[in-house]
C-alpha cells in the first residue's frame, strides 16, 4: 500500500494544499508547533476515522471554520483508490471511491497504517491496558470482524459487572450469571486466540528489528500473560473452558467487588529486553527502541496477513536515538512507504534517498535531497 497524494482543507493549522509523497521515506521537517504532526494524524484518520491525539472532532477543524475536509488517493488491494473524510463538530462523512459510507469503520481493511507517536512510550511505562490496546488495535485493523468481537465483549463485560453489583440486592439473579459467562467466554476465547497468535508472530519479528536497531547489542522478546491460565497451544475450546472455570472460581469475590476479576480484559503482555522486563529496567532510549521495533514488527505481521505493506507513520521518532539507530530507520527500511517527522536539521541530512518536506506555520514546501 502507498499514499499517492493527500489534500487538506481547513484541517487544524495546515494551509489548503496537496502533498505528493514518494514511495519510500518521506521526512516532514520543521520546528515544533508548525503542523508536522497534523500531517501524520490526517493520514492515520484514513485507517478508521479516529485520531491518535484527541477524541474531539472540533479540535481537527481550523479555527473559525465549520468543517475540515481530507482527500487521499492511494494504491491498495492491487488498484488505485480514493477516500475522503469531511469532519464537522458532531459528525464525519466518509466516502470510499466516491461512495458514501454509513460509518468510519468502512475504512478498516481499505487503508492500513502503523503509527508511532511519543504517547506510544506509555506502551511500556504504563499498565496492562496500554499493551492490550496495542495488540487489539492491530488485530482490529486486520479484520473488521475482530473489532466487532471486541466491541461485543466489552459490552457484555459491562452488563456482567452490572449484574454482579445487583446480585447482593437480589439473590435470585445469581443463576443468570451462567448465561452471561457462556457468552463472555466464547467471545473472550476468540479474542485471546487472535492475541496469542499475533503476539507470537510479532515477538519473532520484533526481535529481528530490535537487533538491527540496536546493532546487535540487545535482544527483545514478548510474553503473553493470561489472567485465566491461557497458553499459546490451547485450542479455542480449551481457552473457553479455562475462562469459564476461572469465572466460577471467582464468583464470591466478584460479587463482593462488583467486577469481573479475570478474562481477556485483565491480560498483559510483558516486553523483555535481554530477558528483563523493560517496564522496570530499560532506559528511555531502550524503551523508545523497543516500541519502534514493535511497531515495525506490527507492520511486518500486517503485511503477511493482509498481503500488502502498511504505511508507516513515525511522529518525533528520532529524538533520543543515537546516530546508528537513526540511520537504520532512515535508510534501512525497505519495501514500505514511511513518513517521519523531526525537528533536527541533521536528521534530514542523514537521508540517502526519499523526499523532504519543510513545514512552517502550516505551509508545506518540498525540499531537494542532496
Helix axes 177-213, 323-331, angle to 10 degrees: 110
Q: Is the pLDDT of residue 6 over 90?
A: yes
Q: What residues does each domain of the chain span?
A: 1-112+309-370, 122-307
242-285: per-residue pLDDT in tens? 999 999 999 999 999 999 999 999 999 999 999 999 988 888 87
Determine the pLDDT at residue 369. 62
Joined grid coordinates for residue 317: 521518532
* Beta carbons of 45 and 105 less than 8 angstroms apart: no
C-alpha pair distances (Å), 32 with each of 51, 99, 304, 316, 361: 19, 37, 36, 10, 10
Q: Which CATH number applies to 122-307: 3.20.10.10, 3.30.1360.170, 1.20.1050.90, 3.40.1520.20?
A: 1.20.1050.90
Higher pLDDT, 321 or 147: 147
Q: Is the pLDDT of residue 348 over 70?
A: no
129-141: per-residue pLDDT in tens? 999 999 998 888 8
Are 1-112+309-370 and 122-307 equal in CATH topology? no
Higher pLDDT, 35 or 110: 35
Q: Is the pLDDT of residue 222 over 90?
A: yes
Q: Which CATH number applies to 1-112+309-370: 3.40.50.300, 3.40.190.10, 3.30.465.10, 3.10.20.30?
A: 3.40.50.300
Average pLDDT over residues 313-327: 77
Q: Is the pLDDT of residue 355 over 60?
A: yes
Higher pLDDT, 283 or 324: 283
Higher pLDDT, 108 or 310: 310
Determine the pLDDT at residue 360. 94
Joined grid coordinates for residue 194: 487472535
Average pLDDT, the chain: 89
Least confidently predicted of 128-142, 161-175, 257-271, 313-327: 313-327
Q: Using pLDDT thresholds of 50, 70 and 90, give the confidence band for residue 108.
A: confident
Query: 277 by DSSP, 3-state: which?
Result: strand
Q: Is the pLDDT of residue 121 over 80?
A: no
Determine the pLDDT at residue 107. 87
pTM of the model: 0.78
Amino acid at each position: 500500500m502507498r499514499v499517492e497524494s493527500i489534500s487538506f482543507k481547513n484541517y487544524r493549522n495546515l494551509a489548503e494544499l496537496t502533498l505528493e509523497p514518494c514511495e519510500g521515506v518521506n521526512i516532514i521537517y520543521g520546528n515544533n508547533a508548525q503542523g508536522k504532526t497534523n500531517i501524520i494524524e490526517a493520514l492515520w484518520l484514513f485507517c478508521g476515522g479516529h485520531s491518535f491525539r484527541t477524541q474531539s472532532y472540533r479540535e481537527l477543524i481550523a479555527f473559525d471554520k465549520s468543517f475540515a475536509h481530507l482527500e487521499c488517493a492511494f494504491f491498495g488491494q492491487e488498484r488505485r483508490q480514493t477516500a475522503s473524510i469531511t469532519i464537522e463538530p458532531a459528525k464525519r462523512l466518509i466516502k470510499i471511491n466516491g461512495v458514501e459510507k454509513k460509518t468510519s469503520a468502512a475504512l478498516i481493511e481499505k487503508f492500513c497504517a502503523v503509527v508511532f507517536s511519543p504517547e506510544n512510550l506509555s506502551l511500556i511505562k504504563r499498565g496492562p491496558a496500554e499493551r492490550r490496546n496495542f495488540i487489539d488495535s492491530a488485530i482490529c485493523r486486520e479484520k473488521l470482524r475482530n473489532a466487532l468481537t471486541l466491541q461485543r465483549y466489552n459490552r457484555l463485560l459491562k452488563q456482567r459487572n452490572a449484574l454482579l453489583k445487583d446480585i447482593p440486592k437480589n439473590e435470585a439473579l445469581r443463576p443468570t450469571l451462567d448465561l452471561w459467562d457462556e457468552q463472555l467466554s466464547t467471545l473472550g476465547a476468540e479474542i485471546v486466540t487472535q492475541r496469542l497468535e499475533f503476539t507470537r508472530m510479532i515477538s519473532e519479528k520484533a526481535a529481528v528489528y530490535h537487533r538491527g536497531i540496536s546493532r546487535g547489542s540487545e535482544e527483545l522478546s514478548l510474553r503473553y500473560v493470561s489472567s485465566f491460565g491461557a497458553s499459546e497451544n490451547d485450542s479455542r475450546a480449551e481457552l473457553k473452558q479455562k475462562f469459564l472455570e476461572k469465572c466460577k472460581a471467582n464468583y464470591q469475590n466478584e460479587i463482593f467487588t462488583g467486577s469481573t476479576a479475570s478474562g481477556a480484559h485483565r491480560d498483559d503482555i510483558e516486553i523483555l529486553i535481554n530477558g528483563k522486563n523493560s517496564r522496570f529496567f530499560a532506559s528511555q532510549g531502550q524503551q523508545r527502541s523497543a516500541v519502534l521495533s514493535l511497531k515495525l514488527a506490527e507492520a511486518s505481521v500486517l503485511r503477511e496477513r493482509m498481503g500488502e505493506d502498511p504505511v508507516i507513520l513515525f511522529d518525533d521518532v528520532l529524538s533520543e536515538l543515537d546516530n546508528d539507530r537513526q540511520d537504520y530507520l532512515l535508510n534501512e527500511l525497505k519495501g514500505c512507504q514511511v513518513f517521519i517527522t523531526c525537528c533536527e536539521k541533521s536528521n534530514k541530512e542523514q537521508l540517502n534517498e526519499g523526499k523532504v518536506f519543510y513545514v512552517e506555520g502550516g505551509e508545506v514546501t518540498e525540499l531537494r535531497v542532496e
